[in-house]
């Protein structure tokens, strides 16, 4: 569910989303999902809320900065 929500929000493919989630930035997003779950929020709602908070996120560029893939040419 999280990979689909992030891919939909960023337009990135699952390989890039996976690399993002394995980065420290992705772990922060997952921490937000976990905090929602701890607060009693259903999983889908916790994922949606965390993704909305990270709405400006570009998983591809973040993955590039984290060394998960080469940078894109601008």
pLDDT tens digit string along 9-55? Answer: 878 889 998 998 898 888 888 999 999 999 999 999 998 888 888 76
What pLDDT is recorded for position 59?
52
For 1-23, letters b (16+ CB in 10 Å) and e give ebbebbbebbebeeebbbbbbeb
Token pair belonging to 59: 């998983």
- What is the spatial distance between Cα 58 and Cα 25, in angstroms, rounded to a whole number? 11
Token pair belonging to 65: 């900065």
């Amino acid at each position: 569910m999280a990979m689909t929500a992030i891919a939909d929000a960023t337009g990135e493919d699952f390989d890039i989303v996976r690399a993002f989630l394995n980065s420290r930035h992705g772990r922060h997003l997952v921490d937000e999902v976990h905090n929602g779950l701890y607060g009693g929020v259903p999983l889908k709602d916790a994922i949606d809320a965390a993704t909305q908070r990270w709405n400006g996120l570009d998983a591809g560029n973040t993955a590039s900065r984290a060394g998960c893939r080469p940078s894109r040419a601008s």
